[in-house]
C-alpha cells in the first residue's frame, strides 16, 4: 500500500502499488471488484499469502482468511496504482477498521478483479442509486459516460461533510440524501426514487447498497415503474446488523425473497 487519503469523515481511499500488482489486469466493467483476504489473529501465514493455497491447507475456520469484496475505484495502468474507497463504519468489522488504521507499507491481499456492469451506451438515460458502499462504482460509472449521456443519481450518506464531488463528461443530476438517525433513514432511497420524474426513453439502472434499501428500490422499479430485470444491475452489497459472514450465509435466500416480491 502506497498511501491513504481521507475523502470524508467516513470514507478512506487506500492506494495500492508495487510489484504485487504486476499481474493485475483491469476488468471491463465500471463496477469492477476484488476479493480481499485478511489473515485473522494467530494465523500461521501472512502478511503476504496466496488465499487459494491457504484454503487448501485445511485450517480450522477461525484461521481461514477473512473475505471481503470491494470495488476498484480506479486503476492507473501507467503507474500501476489501484485505489479502493472503504467506508469506515465504526470499530466493528474487519475491512473498515483495517482501512481506518492503514499506513503506507501495509500489505493488502486481493484476488480478482471481476465485474458485472458498465453503463449501456444504447440507453436513453441512466439511473444510479445507492449508499457510500456503491459510491466508488457510481463515481467510476459516471466518469465513463459518453458526453451525450444523461444520468440521474441519488446517494444516501450521513450529511453534507460525507458527500464527495462527482464528475462526468455526461449530463448528471446528482442529489444526496442525508440520514437523520431515525427509522425513516431506510426509506430515503426508495422515497427519492418514487419522487423522480423519469426522463423519457429506455433507462439503464445501477442499484447497489444496503440490502433492505436495495430490495425496496428494486420492487418499486420493477412493479411500479415497469423496468425489466435486464434494465438494471441490482445487488445488495451489505446488510445492516450483519457481518459479511452472516450476510453471505443468508444472501441466497434473501435474493430468492427479492425475486418473490416481484413474481
Ligand atoms: C461487489 C461489492 C462491492 C463492494 N464495494 C465496496 C466499496 O467499494 N466500498 C465499501 O466500503 N464497501 C463495499 N462493499 C461492501 C462491503 O463489502 C461490506 O460493507 C462489508 O460488510 C464491510 O466489511 P467489514 O469487515 O468492514 O464489516 P463487517 O464485519 O462485514 O460488518 C460489521 C458491522 O458493520 C456493518 N457494516 C458493514 N458495512 C457497512 C457500511 N457500508 N455502512 C455501515 N455499516 C456497515 C455490518 O452491518 C455489521 O453490523 C462492496 C460489496 C460488494 C458485494
In the numeric block, which cell numbers belong to residue 97?
477498521
Mean pLDDT by 10 residues, the chain (263 residues): 96 96 95 98 94 94 97 96 97 97 96 97 98 98 98 98 98 98 97 97 98 98 97 97 98 96 90
How high is the pLDDT of residue 41? 94
What residue's CA is closest to ligand 1, atom 38? 238
- Can you give the pTM of this predicted structure? 0.97
What is the CA(147)–ligand 1 centre distance, in A?
32
Give 144-186 as a DSSP string.
Answer: TS-TT-EEEEEEEESSGGG------SSEEEEEEEE--SSGGGG
How high is the pLDDT of residue 2? 95
Q: Which atom of ligand 1 is nearest to the CA of 137?
A: 8
How high is the pLDDT of residue 46? 87
How high is the pLDDT of residue 178? 98
How high is the pLDDT of residue 263? 86
Please state whether beta strands 74-76 and 81-87 pair in parallel, antiparallel, or not at all (unpaired): antiparallel
Q: Is 133 in the pocket of ligand 1 (CB under 6 A)?
A: yes
What residue's CA is closest to ligand 1, atom 4? 70
Q: Which atom of ligand 1 is nearest to the CA of 239?
A: 47
Any idea how long the chain is? Answer: 263
Q: Is 35 in the pocket of ligand 1 (CB under 6 A)?
A: no
Q: Assess if CATH 3.40.1110.10 describes domain 125-261.
A: no
Contact 31, 206 (CB under 8 A): yes
Q: Where are the domains of the chain?
A: 3-114, 125-261
Domain 3-114 fold: Elongation Factor Tu (Ef-tu); domain 3 (2.40.30)
Q: List Cα–Cα distances, 55 to 24, 39, 58, 174, 207, in angstroms.
A: 21, 12, 6, 43, 32
What residue's CA is closest to ligand 1, atom 18? 238
What is the CA(107)–ligand 1 centre distance, in A?
19
In degrees, rounded to 5, the angle at the alpha carbon of residue 76 between the alpha carbons of residues 67 and 87 is 40
Amino acid at each position: 500500500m502506497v498511501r491513504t487519503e481521507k475523502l470524508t469523515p467516513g470514507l478512506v481511499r487506500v492506494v495500492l502499488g508495487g510489484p504485487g500488482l504486476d499481474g493485475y489486469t483491469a476488468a471491463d466493467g465500471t463496477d469492477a471488484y476484488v476479493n480481499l483476504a485478511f489473515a485473522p489473529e494467530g494465523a500461521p501465514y501472512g502478511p503476504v499469502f496466496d488465499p487459494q493455497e491457504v484454503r487448501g491447507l485445511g485450517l480450522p475456520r477461525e484461521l481461514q482468511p477473512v473475505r471481503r469484496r470491494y470495488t476498484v475505484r480506479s486503476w492507473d495502468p501507467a503507474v500501476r496504482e489501484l485505489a479502493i474507497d472503504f467506508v469506515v463504519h465504526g470499530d466493528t468489522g474487519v475491512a473498515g477498521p483495517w482501512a481506518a488504521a492503514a499506513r503506507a507499507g501495509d500489505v493488502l491481499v486481493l484476488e480478482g478483479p471481476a465485474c458485472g456492469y458498465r453503463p449501456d451506451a444504447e440507453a436513453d438515460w441512466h439511473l444510479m442509486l445507492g449508499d457510500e458502499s456503491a459510491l466508488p462504482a457510481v463515481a467510476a460509472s459516471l466518469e465513463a459516460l459518453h458526453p451525450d449521456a444523461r444520468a440521474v443519481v441519488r446517494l444516501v450518506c450521513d450529511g453534507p461533510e460525507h458527500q464527495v464531488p462527482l464528475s462526468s463528461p455526461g449530463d448528471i443530476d446528482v442529489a444526496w440524501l442525508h440520514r437523520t438517525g431515525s427509522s425513516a433513514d431506510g426509506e430515503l432511497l426508495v422515497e427519492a426514487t418514487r419522487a423522480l420524474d423519469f426522463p423519457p426513453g429506455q433507462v439503464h439502472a445501477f442499484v447497489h447498497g444496503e440490502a433492505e434499501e436495495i430490495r425496496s428500490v428494486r420492487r418499486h422499479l420493477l412493479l411500479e415503474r415497469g423496468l425489466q430485470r435486464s434494465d438494471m444491475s441490482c445487488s445488495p452489497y451489505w446488510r445492516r446488523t450483519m457481518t459479511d459472514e452472516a450476510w453471505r450465509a443468508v444472501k441466497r435466500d434473501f435474493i430468492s425473497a427479492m425475486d418473490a416480491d416481484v413474481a
